[in-house]
Amino acid sequence: MFSPFLLRQTPLSRFALFSVSTAIAVALASGLCPMAFAQKKASPPTTGAESNLARGKYIVEGVAVCGQCHTPRDSNGNLDRTRWLQGSPVPYLPAKPDMDWPLNAPRIGGTPPASDADMIKLLTTGIWTNGNRLRLPMPQFRMERSDAEAVVSYLRSSGPKQ
């Protein structure tokens, strides 16, 4: 039969009660204190430039897939990462014969082929340095300015500088 009186009598159970209450106090302090929680979750700080580069990489590699046209392929048809964004024969043919179809998607990695302002204009409006649109299959991008800036920083960081 349970009796609080009896429990208090034996040194062993007194110790057990003490350790249980200490454990609860420690658990409450570490689990419920917002500061302790925040410290556990905190990730290493990143600079604005790093997150801009990461965003540019994500857009170029994962969304706009610039490399599908602007990176040459190896003999198995896989993109050649050693020549990433260094220009490539256009891998697509038009559905109807088109004398004006470009044969080449030029190099865009490393030093970009135009000033940052011109690159951003292309990516936000679709207009190139000659005042015209580029030919298909180059997509007509309408990016947000901040996305275009992130893409240009990433292009600058990828491939040899020229």
**CA 1, CA 160: separation in Å to the nearest integer?**
82
**CA 10, CA 17: separation in Å to the nearest integer?**
11
Burial 28-52 (b: 16+ CB within 10 A, else e): eeeeeeeeeeeeeeeeeeeeeeeeb
**CA 119, CA 148: separation in Å to the nearest integer?**
8
Select 26 or 139, whichever has its Cβ closest to ligand HEC: 139
Angle 147-151-155 from CA coordinates, rounded to 5°: 170
Tell me phi and psi for residue 89, to 5 degrees: -60, 140
Taking the complex as a whole, the smallest distance from the CB of residue 43 to ligand HEC amounts, in Å, to 28
Taking the complex as a whole, the smallest distance from the CB of residue 96 to ligand HEC amounts, in Å, to 17
**CA 8, CA 33: separation in Å to the nearest integer?**
32
Select 6 or 92, whichever has its Cβ closest to ligand HEC: 92
Select 11 or 62, whichever has its Cβ closest to ligand HEC: 62
Select 53 or 122, whichever has its Cβ closest to ligand HEC: 122
Does 150 bind ligand HEC (CB under 6 A)? Our answer is no
Stretch of 1-9, 20-28, 45-53, 100-108 contacting ligand HEC, by CB under 6 A: 100-108
90, 124, 127, 157: which one contacts ligand HEC (CB under 6 A)? 90
Strand partners, 88: 105
Select 37 or 92, whichever has its Cβ closest to ligand HEC: 92
Taking the complex as a whole, the smallest distance from the CB of residue 136 to ligand HEC amounts, in Å, to 7
Does 70 bind ligand HEC (CB under 6 A)? Our answer is yes
Residues at the site binding ligand HEC, with contacts judged by CB under 6 A = 60, 64-66, 68-70, 90, 102, 105-106, 108, 113, 122, 134-135, 137-139, 141, 151
